[in-house]
Chains A and B, each alone.
Chain A
Amino acid sequence: MLSAADLLKTLPYFETLGTDAIEHITREVLEFSFARGEVLFLEGESCRGLYVIKSGQVRIFKTSPEGREQVLLVAKPGDSFNDVPVFDGGPNPASASALEESTIYLIPTEVALSLLTDCPIAVSILKLFAVRLRHLTMMVEDLSFRSVVGRMAKLLLDLAVVEDGPSPVRRLTQDEMAAMVGSVRDMIGRALKHIERAGAIKIEGQRIMVVAPEKLREMM
């Protein structure tokens, strides 16, 4: 079996690193073993670092409030995961559990970031990419777990602003709303009627008045 240094050298992240840098990382790497079904980390927890699979398989997944799961990735030996929070500093965007008995390397966040200290622009660029990737992961969550009504409720909550306030009022056609929530115009019309009947909004001509934000939150 490959040593930690040999395995790390094969990773796309580290393939251009010299022997000294690889040895530095190898010294700092932590090794863990997980039984089949064991959880490595949970979504929302603070990030410990970048994970690399030495052996076994790990499932990266999102969970809906009702307990439904959406698998984002099945990581195999040599794959790395949990990159996003390492670079944007946020919490873990998804959970991970072992699909079979697995041995995992953990490269602590500060060790991974220490490789970039000489190039601050790389840190900025990676942070920007990580923020965008986190946003896309959240879109996967929305599309997988929320109904059109739930997605519309979230959109209305996100966009509603006070009239004459500091932020301009958003003006959207139903086609534009459909594009933003991954649906079609007919569904938007029905969703808006449903939300209005539930008492969360009032539609007055061209104005969609959010009158009960807490009801929108319940629908999400």
Chain B
Amino acid sequence: MRGAIPRINLEKCTGCGDCVEWCPTDAVALVNEKAVVVSPDDCYYCTDCEPVCPPGAIRCPFEIILAITQPRAPKEE
């Protein structure tokens, strides 16, 4: 399963390129003057692009999950 990537609202994106400049792994690039995660496998969800986006077009939400440890089913003989 591929990891999560930032969500970019292309309608809000002004193509300023701040996220491209800021991204530590060069996972984001401008395509047709809009920010796009072009190398999703390189994105490790540091979320640094979210606060640098002037129009707030980038969102990096976190899921808050309660991990439960399931008791292991006994092995069948």
- The finding on whether chains A and B are genuine partners in a shared complex, rather than unrelated, reads yes
Q: Which residues of A come within 8 Å of B, CB atoms?
A: 156, 159-163, 169-177, 185, 189, 202-203, 205-211, 213
Chain A residues touching B, majority SS: mixed
Given A185-B51, A205-B4, A206-B4, do A170 and B45 touch, yes or no (CB 8 Å)?
no
- By size class, the interface of chain B is 10 to 19
With CB as the reference atom, state the residue of chain B lying closest to A177. B62
Number of A-B contacts (CB under 8 A): 68
Contact B59 A170 (CB under 8 A): no
Is the CB of B26 closer than 8 A to any CB of chain A? no
Contact A210 B67 (CB under 8 A): yes
With CB as the reference atom, state the residue of chain B lying closest to A212. B67
Top 9 A-B pairs, shortest CB-CB distance: A206-B4, A160-B66, A171-B61, A205-B3, A209-B67, A205-B4, A159-B64, A211-B67, A205-B45
Given A206-B4, A206-B45, do A173 and B61 touch, yes or no (CB 8 Å)?
yes
A-B contact pairs, 25 of them (CB 8 A): A156-B64, A160-B64, A160-B65, A161-B65, A161-B66, A162-B65, A162-B68, A163-B65, A169-B63, A169-B65, A171-B62, A171-B63, A173-B60, A174-B47, A174-B60, A174-B62, A205-B45, A206-B4, A206-B45, A206-B62, A207-B62, A207-B63, A210-B66, A210-B67, A211-B67
